[in-house]
Structure 1
Amino acid sequence: MIPRLKEHDRALFEAVARLSVPSLDAPLRRASDFADFSKPWFLTAGALVLFGGARERRAAVTGLSAIGATSLLVNQPLKRLTSERSRPDRAALGVPVERWVKMPTSRSFPSGHSASAAAFAVSVGRLLPALRLPLRAAASVVAFSRVYTGVHYPSDVLVGVTIGALIGHLAARLAERRHRVRQH
């Protein structure tokens, strides 16, 4: 079964590589680069702290906590456990050079960028529903950019998003529970 999944994963990667939308090349390359070290999420959290009230500050702390837990899980044990999963050979698989970002040195599986983006978007979006759609849209752009720029296979991104979303959901639930306890 695994070889068949790898075939589908590679075929989907190649289909994205064949997409000819030059107007997306620079914006998705910039989005992928900008997401290094969770910059969009740290900046968003900072804005929530500076310009929001107690609820926004709580959401910012929850979102950053979700990123921390996700990064710790994804970038340490999971990437080490899946050490046989190398990055895509984007030249051989047809990703146009105009899309390329610097190739990370870590293993490919799962995508840390996608995991952190989902963790922040899901946790903050649950606590601040008005931000749910824009945060999830931004996280989706980051996740797709990782395949589009050729640094991850689609399954790397899918698993990263799933892990991040689960941790983000858990972080938000814990924050809600803690807030309810403090109110009583």
Structure 2
Amino acid sequence: MNGPTPHEPVGASLAKRLSAREDPRLSGVVSLLRRLDAADRTVFGAVADLSTPWLDDSLRRISDFANFSKPWFIMAGALAALGGDRGRRAALTGVAAIGVTSFMVNQPMKLANRRRPHRALLGVPETRWVGMPSSTSFPSGHAASAAAFCVAVGAVVPGLRWALRVAAAVVALSRVYTGVHYPGDVLVGASVGAGLGRLTVAVASRLAQRGVGMGCGRGADTT
């Protein structure tokens, strides 16, 4: 069998393909990928082995509830309705960040074609299981959208930063805990989401500044 086994993280399969080229210039990359693969497996196994049945139901519910970015859209709606001008700006920026991130993660990045963890083989208790998504595993869309919204809204409403970070971290943890993602999927997803969240904030800020500038210019013409 040339491809990865159903429970093999992407690092191992990529390392195999690169090592097959027998190019000494790639030896460092192959070694790094194998170390990352080993770390991914070790952390996933450690989480699967946690004896925390009291967390199973709550994290399973959180993981399911986070499908389609529901918590973040609900929060955006609350901000828009109750937060005044700043709340509406935060909601718009947060939703825009989710949109950009979802496109990037679910389109070009999913082409990495990493298989989902095989929960039964890897020892994840069935009491934790949620529906296994049909999409590929790398990177985690849940973690990416959570991080993007957290960063974007936190930049506009700094008082919400820590609450949002905790919420995003719990969602990210739930994806590993329920066995639908490797830790590496979540870490990369969160990193990508945070970066795209910052980019969205920067673009929104630039557009707002241009709008103010043009508004001032029009005002000066009419006085």
TM over 0.5: yes
SS at match of 1:50: helix
Aligned-pair identity (%):
60
Residue deviations 1:5-41 (CA, integer Å, cap 9, x gap): 1111011100000111111111110110000000000
Following superposition of structure 1 onto structure 2, how do residues 44-83 of structure 1 map, counting pairs within 5 Å? 44-80=75-111, 82-83=112-113
Separation of aligned partners in 2, 1:182 and 1:129:
23
**Residue from 196, 200, 210 that aligns with 1:171:** 200
Question: How many pairs are equivalent?
Answer: 182
Opposite residue 43 of structure 1, the aligned amino acid is I
Separation of aligned partners in 1, 2:85 and 2:208:
11
1:38 corresponds to 2:54: no
1:117 corresponds to 2:146: yes
Opposite residue 144 of structure 1, the aligned amino acid is L
Q: CA RMSD in A?
A: 0.9
Structure 2 gap ranges (5+): 1-30, 214-223
TM-score, normalised via structure 2 length: 0.80
Partner of 1:8: 39
Larger radius of gyration: 2
Separation of aligned partners in 2, 1:36 and 1:130:
26
Partner of 2:14: none
Residue deviations 1:105-156 (CA, integer Å, cap 9, x gap): 0000000000000000010011100111111110000000000000000000
Separation of aligned partners in 1, 2:204 and 2:90:
8
Partner of 1:17: 48
1:153 corresponds to 2:182: yes
Residue deviations 1:66-103 (CA, integer Å, cap 9, x gap): 000000000011102x11x1000111111111011000
